[in-house]
Amino acid sequence: MVRHLSLLLLCLIPLVTWATTGAPVQLRIQGSNTIGAALAPALVKGMLEAQGARSISVITTDTANETQVRALNAQGQAVRIDIAAHGSSTGFTALKAGQADLAAASRPIKATELSELKALGNLNSASAEQVIALDGVAVIVHPDNPLPQLSTEQLAQIFAGRITTWEALGLGNGPIHLYARDDRSGTFETFKALVLDANDQALAISARRFESGEQLAQQVLTDRQAIGFSSLASVHGAKVVAIADGDSRPMLPTPALVASEDYPLSRRLYFYLSPTQATPWAKALVEFAQSAKGQAIVTTTGFVGQQVHAIKVPAADDMPPSYRTLVRDAQRLSVNFRFQEGQANLDSKALRDVQRVVDFLRQHHKLDQGAVLVGFGDAKQDAERAALFSRLRAMAVRRELARQGVTLREVIGLGDELPVAANTAEEGRIRNRRVEVWVY
């Protein structure tokens, strides 16, 4: 009897394989290699498990950086989801051509892409632009390299080919070998915007380019002269260098500093979908990615989730007195509120974070007088004006929290104190315009 049952199961295996292989494609995801290499397949698998699917398999295709997720849904019907991870720009191109339902991007959508995709609706809207995870662009070297830290200015000089030897940095000897992502990569776009463009530099033609962050990191591990940059999820044993921007202290891309987006090379990972023409499968994956289970998967795949935690912050000599009081008596939440460029309106991530903060305050019985908002801004000619604007930003967050029943203990504006980025470029000024949440 057992032998007959085993033979029957062996006969059924080809039928299941045929059914899933020949299944229609329910969801097509194209874009970022950072997201598509591991995070997108993991989120898809998690969503299918939550829906009660079975026989779930993630299959590498014959085409590099492309995978399929296949399964049988709760009704026994075949499901297939295709993921192509050739760079963030390819996701928007595929959306425009009708070849993708979701664009995965490791950088924000560009103005030119917004214009080209306007037939799909406003992809900058809160329903279309979904921040699914946080990441830090990690600057990596060989594990034997003693380099402890770099400024973004030094980093730009290195990758522009103006600093070409390790002797010029006071370390070892020999030429510096540059490793960079290709032009379609959102990781490269982020590095270009925050490092190269911010310092009026262009990438040296001598840099080796990679479509895959995994391949780049593996090459750095074999080259003692190497320096490169990758997603946090693809460091794989390389040494990570601390980065300072302007007057900020040198920072490593720790989960806490990436979650607050204080780390100078922090970035957001996105799913983009049409606000008017999105398919049910695309909407379902986005909602799963934003859920507690989805954010747990974000963390287990090496990125930084958006769950809110309370963190004890160490004191530092440059802290203003009111801030030192908070450091002594309170804890900071692992989220910063930021704003739409040139506006006082909360950006798409901040709108989601309002609810996350409210949920945290409710769970810890701090809805009434348990929290403090601290606003910061970029430098102004008038220090009082900088302080005023920073307080106004905090008041904008206060209004959103008040709608959810939160009564704050205090609202503070600290102007251009404690910058996390240089104020010399617009990217840095935007990063310095932030609101922190502290709890007692």
Six-digit token pair at 160? 């522009």
Q: Positive or negative, the Cα torsion across 37, 40, 42, 44?
A: negative
Six-digit token pair at 317? 């000599």
Q: Is 409 exposed, middle or buried (0-12, 13-18, 19+ CB in 10 A)?
A: middle
Q: Give the number of other CB atoms < 10 A from CB of residue 366.
A: 17
Six-digit token pair at 281? 């499968």
Going from N- to C-terminal start, the domains of the chain cover 2-132+268-300, 135-257, 308-439
What are the residues facing 58 on neighbouring strands?
Answer: 69
Superfamily of domain 2-132+268-300 in CATH is: Periplasmic binding protein-like II (3.40.190.10)
Each residue's pLDDT, cut to its tens digit, for the chain (440 residues) gives: 444 444 444 444 433 433 444 568 999 999 999 999 999 999 999 999 999 999 999 999 999 999 999 999 999 999 999 999 999 999 999 999 999 999 999 999 999 999 999 999 999 998 999 999 999 999 999 999 999 999 999 999 999 999 999 999 998 889 999 999 999 999 999 999 999 999 999 999 999 999 999 999 999 999 999 999 999 999 989 999 999 998 889 999 999 999 999 999 999 999 999 999 999 999 999 999 999 999 999 999 999 999 999 999 999 998 999 999 999 999 999 999 987 666 667 877 888 899 999 999 999 999 999 999 999 988 877 888 888 989 999 999 999 999 999 999 999 999 999 988 887 777 778 888 999 999 99
Superfamily of domain 308-439 in CATH is: OmpA-like domain (3.30.1330.60)
What is the pTM for the complete model shown? 0.86
Task: Round to whole Å and give the CA distance between 392 and 47.
Answer: 40
CATH architecture of 135-257: 3-Layer(aba) Sandwich (3.40)
Domain 135-257 in the same topology as domain 2-132+268-300: yes
Task: Round to whole Å and give the CA distance between 202 and 180.
Answer: 12
